[in-house]
Amino acid sequence: MMEKAKVIIFAHLYNDYSGSPCVLREAIESLEGTGIELMLFTSQHHGFLSGLAITKRTVPYLYSDNKLLKLFFYAFSQVYLFFLLSFYLLKLRISGKHIEVVANTILSVAAVLAGKLFAHRTVSYVHELALQSNLLSSCLKQIALTCSDQRIYVSQFLQESYLDAGAEVILNGLRGDLSSKVAVVRYQQLVEAKLSNKRVLFVGTLREYKGFFAFLELAKLRSSVQFEAVINASEAEFETFLETVDLPSNINVILRPKDLSPFYQSAFVLLNLTDVRSVKETFGMTILEGFAFACPAIVPSEGGHHAFCGKHNSLVADAAVLESVLTHLDDLLQDQNKWFELSKGAFETAQTLTSIKYRKRIRRFLLDF
């Protein structure tokens, strides 16, 4: 009997340059050359999911800082996605296709529900621990756990937080485009660039829990050190932010650069200042990206990043205790041997979490239906 033709449909709420669409792009690209029909349902924005050579359907989504508007826009996008995706699923089933739906993040709840009704297998790809709304977070988690056939978690920490012992854990890998840039740079070149600058790097957003306010305080307390912040924000958003804070003269801010590699390449140490009292990193992609360029890190005490962070490549300090962060920062700036040890460990760790290894694992999982 001839096997039915397979179709894999991916759904993602908001296409931007954050971690979850970046990982989804790697997953989609892992299926190139398989002959399987691929489709993507995502928003109209430009981000990591733009430019993929697969069939794309736009699901309108607007973002607002107003909580009620944000909820309305989210609800509208999910209702729209549910009916649009259901239409395509029914059409594909009638034509005799074997269909898998992959809902990227728990926010893609409509894809889970439509997949439950009309697909042959539905997968929830879980990247987040919680949302700002506890009620919404609980509802979406429960739907992911009960309505999807299988779940993929980006770290064991996240899987354990969901109490989902039978689910799959697939650690993220370094982005393919960064892997190619790392491949052409020698370790010694990286070390020389870092020691000549001793620049302290922060990569994140302006959201308070991500730690940019703490980064500003650190810069004020160490005015002789050069700090650099790569921020995922528009110029308008950053201008509004500047109305509320004083930017120290020893901080250089870059907004949404197309290429992060030059900043990792020249950074002496990476600071992840996520406030664990509010939110925890479920993986810590920027930490891994820094490691790939031999950049050791100071990381929070809790989170999924501890799957690959340890005494051989990073130091632990929470942003809530700035004195602890400063102590570690001063130690690295003054103790070159300690820095060399962590830098080498970071570089070696990144070799174990490559794009190639990730793509092999995710491809095997996605094709097994």
Q: What is the pLDDT of residue 80?
A: 98
Alpha helix (H) ranges present in 168-295?
176-183, 187-197, 212-221, 235-242, 261-266, 285-292
Distance of CA 254 to the CA centre of its chain: 19
Tokens of 195: 């020691």
Reported as type and span, the H/E element at residue 263 is: helix 261-266
CA dist., res. 366 & res. 364, Å (int): 6
3-class DSSP state of 61: coil
Amino acid type, 346: A
Which residues, other chains included, contact 300 with Cβ-Cβ below 8 Å and sequence gap of 6+? 272, 273, 274, 275, 276, 280, 281, 316, 317, 318, 319
Residues spanned by the domain of 107: 6-173+354-367
Place of tokens 């950053």: 238
Q: What is the pLDDT of residue 215?
A: 98
CA dist., res. 7 & res. 105, Å (int): 20
Supply the pTM of this predicted model: 0.89
Residues 167 and 192 in one domain: no
CA dist., res. 92 & res. 89, Å (int): 5
Q: What is the pLDDT of residue 2?
A: 54
Which of 314, 312, 262, 261 lies closest to 284, judged by CA?
Answer: 314
Residues 94 and 132 in one domain: yes
Residues 121 and 79 in one domain: yes
**Is there a domain that residue 1 lies in?**
no
Query: In this structure, are residues 212 and 202 in contact, taking their beta carbons and an 8 Å threshold?
Result: yes
For the residues of 290-310, what is the DSSP string, one character each? HHHTT--EEE-SSBGGGGT--
Q: What is the pLDDT of residue 134?
A: 85
Distances 1 to 4, 25, 161 between C-alpha atoms, Å = 9, 34, 43
**Is there a domain that residue 77 lies in?**
yes
Residues 302 and 361 in one domain: no
Residues 245 and 162 in one domain: no
Pairing of strands 227-231, 251-255: parallel
Q: What is the pLDDT of residue 26?
A: 96
Assign residue 105 a region (left: φ > 0; alpha: ψ between -120 and 50; beta: otherwise). left
pLDDT in tens, the chain (369 residues): 456 899 999 999 999 888 899 999 999 999 999 999 999 999 999 999 999 999 999 999 998 878 899 999 999 999 999 999 999 999 999 999 999 999 999 999 999 999 999 999 999 999 999 887 889 999 999 999 999 999 999 999 999 999 999 899 999 999 888 888 887 788 888 898 899 889 999 999 999 999 999 999 999 999 999 999 999 898 999 999 999 999 999 999 999 998 899 999 999 999 999 999 999 999 999 999 999 999 999 999 999 999 999 999 999 999 999 999 999 999 999 999 999 999 999 999 999 999 999 999 999 999 998
Count of structural domains within the chain: 2
**Is there a domain that residue 23 lies in?**
yes
What CATH number does residue 135 fall under?
Answer: 3.40.50.2000
Distances 106 to 249, 252, 298 between C-alpha atoms, Å = 40, 35, 29
CA dihedral 114, 62, 210, 293 (to 10 degrees): 80
Residues 233 and 94 in one domain: no
Tokens of 119: 């697909």
Query: In this structure, are residues 153 and 334 in contact, taking their beta carbons and an 8 Å threshold?
Result: no
Q: What is the pLDDT of residue 17?
A: 84
Place of tokens 């992959």: 102
Residues 80 and 16 in one domain: yes
Residues 292 and 345 in one domain: yes
Residues 136 and 278 in one domain: no
**Is there a domain that residue 238 lies in?**
yes
